[in-house]
Chain A
Amino acid sequence: MKENYLAKWLNNELSEAELEAFKKTAEYADYQRIVATTDTLEAPDFDMDAALQEFKNKQFQKQPKVIAMKPRRKWLQIAAAIAVLMVVSLFYVNSLDTSISTEFAERREVTLPDASEVVLNADSRLSFSEKAWDKERNVTLKGEAFFKVAKGKRFTVATEAGTVSVLGTEFNVENRNDFFEVTCYEGLVSVNFNGKEIQLPAGSSFQVIQGTIQPITDPKTASPSWINHESSFNSIPLAYVLDEFQRQYNVRMEIQNVNTQQLFTGSFSNTNMDLALQSISIPSQIAYKLEGDKVLFYAKETP
């Protein structure tokens, strides 16, 4: 017999010969009776019109709602995506360091999260992590700043030249180009320079110019002079003095035939440019010309 011949038989697909052979089998009568009995069965009652009406009553009135949901869902997805992005970026921004910087001829006072005070001199940049502040008081400095550190855990100032750490004190850090200077005004400061640790008691200074440690010159003031709008120098090459002048007054500077390696001791005002120019040029025996925001320093003709 063919595969699934009963199915073929029910579907009238058997050939005449096959049908004859099937009719001769003993089961044929049984199958016939089963099919006959089955064919007297009725499908269950199903009132399609009532069902459709019920469905319509339930669903079609909700149609506008269904359609309205779709664009809103899309809109919600976008809104959700934006919200997630904002939250993520907020976390990201929060985890970034806070940084404060000053331009030429600008000075700023900053209060750190623990009420420590920092005064940033011109053209400087201070950054710190507000989030990690409770764990470690770390700041990164480029330029010059005067610190009044509140008592507490170790306070560390990282610069390219070296790190300065203290527990609570007043000190000034300057790091520009190859000039690095730390002056302690109160308490005790520890300076890490090239792997060496130097303890700096109150009233002492540590200075590195072009990689070499300079003999320590003790400051005579309670705070760096620039806090009082005066820049002071003690045996500092003229080049650094002129750089500082440029920073304090935001002028363009040109130097002609001047030996900038000569040492300068003295100070200049950060508020009166004419006075400052004289303070620098007279002791250094150089001349200057001021044109708008441009200053030319040149060698004085020998009389």
Chain B
Amino acid sequence: MDNVCEEEVFSSIFTNTSKTVYNSIYYKYGNAEKAYDAVQEAFLKLWENCSKVSPEKAKSYVYTVANNLYLNVLKAEKVRLKYADRQQDTSHESPEFLMEEAQYREKYEKALAALPENQRTTFLLNRIDGKKYAEIAEMEGVSVKAIEKRMHLALKSLREKIAGI
């Protein structure tokens, strides 16, 4: 089996990769609706070209296509991420702490939005989606070393922005 034309193969690729690709596009450009459309479009392209794409390359293919579709049509918007509900941690929080925390998050969000798209996407894919560097590298079509560089720079500039350096 060298292509993804079998419906079952295709469905399993969709199941395994669509969320990651969707998240990546969202981390990059910050519009959930458009990211969703781009992913749908990209899988359509994969289906049309199913005979030319091997299952191993499918993820990278879909990501590249979705990325290009997005780049062609749309401009990046600010990434807005929800915070996971952490009710159980609130027992000891004082009002001062809560205010400080809110201020910190505001700075954090600004810093995150200010990151270059590649760094932000890589950083969030690793931290939120738990993707390994190698996996991100494969999808983005770059080396693991380049992904490490992005991670390093992302964290470094987040700190500098938040600390106001």
Residues of A bordering B, CB below 8 Å = 3-8, 10-11, 27, 30-31, 33-35, 37-46, 48, 51-52, 54-56, 58-60, 63, 66
Contact = CB atoms under 8 A, between A and B. Distances in A.
Contacts of A30: 159, 162-163
A38 B155 CA distance: 10
A43 B128 contact: yes
B32 A44 contact: yes
Contacts of A63: 7
B40 interface: yes
A52 B18 contact: yes
Nearest to B83: A40
| Majority secondary structure, A binding face | helix
B63 interface: no
Contacts of B86: 40
Interface of B: 7, 11, 14-15, 18-19, 22-23, 26, 32, 35-36, 39-40, 43-44, 47-48, 81-84, 86, 104-105, 108, 123-124, 126-129, 133, 145, 147-152, 155-156, 158-159, 162-163
Given A41-B124, A52-B18, A59-B44, 16 more contacts: A6-B151, A7-B155, A30-B162, A34-B108, A34-B162, A37-B105, A38-B123, A38-B127, A40-B86, A41-B81, A41-B82, A41-B83, A42-B82, A42-B84, A43-B19, A52-B11
Contact of B108 (A7, A37, A46, A56): A37
B151 A4 contact: yes
Contact of A44 (B22, B108, B148): B22
A84 to B, nearest CB: 27
A140 to B, nearest CB: 57
Question: What 8 A-B pairs have minimum CB-CB distances, sorted nearest first?
Answer: A7-B151, A7-B148, A4-B152, A4-B148, A6-B152, A6-B155, A7-B152, A41-B81
Contacts of B148: 4, 7-8, 11
Contacts of A5: 152
Nearest to A9: B155
Contacts of B163: 30
A271 B133 CA distance: 102
Contacts of A46: 18-19, 22-23, 36
A44 B23 contact: yes
Contact of A7 (B81, B104, B133): B133
B84 A52 contact: no
B126 A10 contact: yes
Nearest to B112: A38
B51 to A, nearest CB: 8
Nearest to A30: B159
B81 A66 contact: no
A55 B44 contact: yes
A60 B155 contact: no
A38 B151 CA distance: 13
A41 B19 contact: no
Given A42-B81, A43-B128, A34 B18 contact: no
